[in-house]
Amino acid sequence: MPDKSSALSSRNYLIYLSGSVVSLHGLWIYRVALGWFAWQLTHSEFWVGVVAFTQFAPAVVFGPIFGVLADRFDRRAASLLINATSIMNMLVLGLLTATGKADISVLVMLSLMQGTLDGAHMPVRMTIVPNLVDKEVLHNAIALNSIAFNVSRFVGPALAGLIIKWFGVATAFFVNGVTYIALVIAMILVTLKPAAEKSEQSGAVWDEMRAGARYVIQHTQIRALLIIVALASIFGRGALEMMPAFADSVFAGGSTALAILTSAIGAGAIVSGVALSRGTAWLNISVIRLAVICAGLLTVLLGLLDTFWIAVPVVVMLGVILSLCGVGSQILIQTLVDDDVRGRVSSFWGMIAFGGTSIGSLAVGISASIWGLQNAVVATGALCAIAALISALISKRRAVKVQ
């Protein structure tokens, strides 16, 4: 008998998860190939940072609009359209790379296009899961999604390393394009709850964006969680986007070292996903805030290391801590938010999580080109730990005043 306390008891969720797992492996193959190709073309930390920035920046610029659309329109149709367009974008990138016509400007442009598509799909993806399962198992479904994401983050980079070594970067882009088909099929097959159908809202997009922002600002718990996510994304994940430069210029390991480091992040994140899937009674905002402080200290340590095999376990721990922050905050927010603003609040989470990563990676890339990569990463980690500690002290002082 299926376990009713698990989201896996839902046929719809199983179909969606299966398609998502295939697509996510393609995503990580693409991300490793993209960063490595940018490094191959330029051997510049600055351009690696720029390419990382283009992957996540659209979530900052257009995130609230995407959130309104996710609340207003049919989420299934939106997912199908976005994934079909992603297939075409990857085919174009693969063809240009295979024919030698993809320089850094082409790479930045098509990466920005894919970043826009991913930014549009993010609030849709986050709002689909609550419409597949009952609220009682929602935390389990989100945690299982995290496990799937990070299993792909563990396996995908290893596959990327093999594909790049044996067949070239262009093949990696083609493979990613093909994997989107699995998610398209899954979205055709699943049945969504009525809450995922077209919204009755008819107000102006701008008015709905402001209403969503007002909801977040007035909801003290959600607001505090988003602030913590911002710190983790800008100062923690931003540094991890520089792994292509780390792998080659610091550890002299090439694409193989990049694949190992990226997989190590995924391996650590799987640990967090499994822990969260087993129960979240222990999860609260203080735990997430402490995780961000630890992430900052680990980032400092990473920047000080020159030995590859010592850096790997540090990166694993960073994967554990940053995943706890990211997935834990999603679980808490999704259990707190009202369904009629779920898309907009999810878009704010994505805008901060992915946008913060883009800003952080660009800042580290620029700093590294001036002061050196390791110095820039050490400074970023120190800022992360200090900012999170200040946030914790302010929160504690406010709690004392309320008492």
**pTM of the entire predicted model:** 0.70
* Residue 142 burial class via C-beta count within 10 angstroms: exposed 0-12, middle 13-18, buried 19 and up: buried
Q: pLDDT over 70 for what percent of the chain? A: 91
pLDDT band at residue 281, thresholds of 50, 70 and 90? confident
Residues 321, 341 contacting (CB under 8 angstroms) = no
| CA separation for the pair 27, 181 (Å, rounded) | 12
Task: Encode pLDDT of 70-115 as tens digits.
Answer: 667 777 888 899 999 999 999 999 999 999 999 999 999 999 999 8
Task: Encode pLDDT of 352-393 as tens digits.
Answer: 887 777 788 888 888 888 888 899 999 999 999 998 898 888
Residues 314, 27 contacting (CB under 8 angstroms) = no
pLDDT at 14 over 80: yes
pLDDT band at residue 45, thresholds of 50, 70 and 90? confident
Set out the domains of the chain in order of their start, with CATH numbers: 9-193+204-402 (1.20.1250.20)
pLDDT at 15 over 80: yes
Secondary structure (3-state) at 219: coil
When pLDDT is averaged across residues 236-253 and rounded to a whole number, the result is: 81
Task: Encode pLDDT of 190-220 as tens digits.
Answer: 887 765 444 444 556 677 778 888 888 888 8
| CA separation for the pair 169, 146 (Å, rounded) | 27
Sign (positive or negative) of CA dihedral 205, 206, 207, 213: positive
Mean per-residue pLDDT over the chain, rounded: 84
Residues 366, 52 contacting (CB under 8 angstroms) = no
**Could you tell me which of 347, 221, 219, 341 has the C-alpha nearest to residue 284?**
221
pLDDT at 313 over 80: yes
